[in-house]
């Protein structure tokens, strides 16, 4: 079954770019979504269908997906972006799979 691997942590200086990767077998053939979760809060969808942003999500969030790796990019990171980020995909076994999460420190 599909397994998604994320780095445990990413650190970025304010105003710089953070790239969070999510790796899985043939992940580029599936749609990937990304969620932001702050301590004590529910997850929020920030990217769906690999690169699309829901309304209300800042343009500094972008996504890509190719080969075995999906990437969430935060361009011009702000302190408010400090959170845990999870990738997610739908497995052929009719099941959702989440990555282990990446803690982003700004």
Partner 1 sequence: EVQLLESGGGSVQPGGSLRLSCAASGFTLGSSEMNWVRQAPGKGLEWVAYINTHGATYHADSVKGRFTISRDNARNSLYLQMDSLRAEDTAVYYCSRDLLNPIQGIIVGMDVWGQGTTVTVSS
Binding span for partner 1 by CB under 8 A among 11-19, 32-40, 65-73, 74-82: 32-40
Which one of 7, 28, 31, 68 is in contact with partner 1 (CB under 8 A)?
A: 31
Q: Give the C-alpha separation, 101 to 20, whole Å.
A: 10
2 lies in the site for partner 1, by CB under 8 A: no
**Strands across the sheet containing 61-66:** 18-23, 69-74, 61-66
Binding span for partner 1 by CB under 8 A among 11-19, 21-29, 49-57, 71-79: 49-57
Which one of 35, 61, 77, 81 is in contact with partner 1 (CB under 8 A)?
A: 35
85 lies in the site for partner 1, by CB under 8 A: no
Nearest distance, CB of residue 100 and partner 1, angstroms: 5
Binding span for partner 1 by CB under 8 A among 9-17, 19-27, 47-55, 74-82: 47-55
Which of 2, 38, 34, 31 minimizes the C-alpha distance to 20? 34
Estimate the share of the chain in helix, then strand, then coil, as percent rounded to the nearest 5. 5, 50, 45
């Amino acid at each position: 079954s599909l397994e998604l691997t994320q780095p445990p942590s990413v650190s970025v200086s304010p105003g710089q770019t953070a790239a969070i990767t999510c790796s899985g077998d043939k992940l580029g053939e599936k749609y990937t979504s990304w969620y932001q979760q702050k301590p004590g809060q529910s997850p929020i969808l920030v990217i769906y269908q690999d690169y699309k942003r829901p309304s209300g999500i800042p343009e500094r969030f972008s996504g890509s997906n190719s080969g075995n790796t999906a990437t969430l990019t935060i361009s011009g990171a702000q302190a408010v972006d400090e959170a845990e980020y999870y990738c997610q995909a739908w497995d052929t076994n009719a099941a959702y799979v989440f990555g282990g999460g990446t803690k982003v420190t700004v």
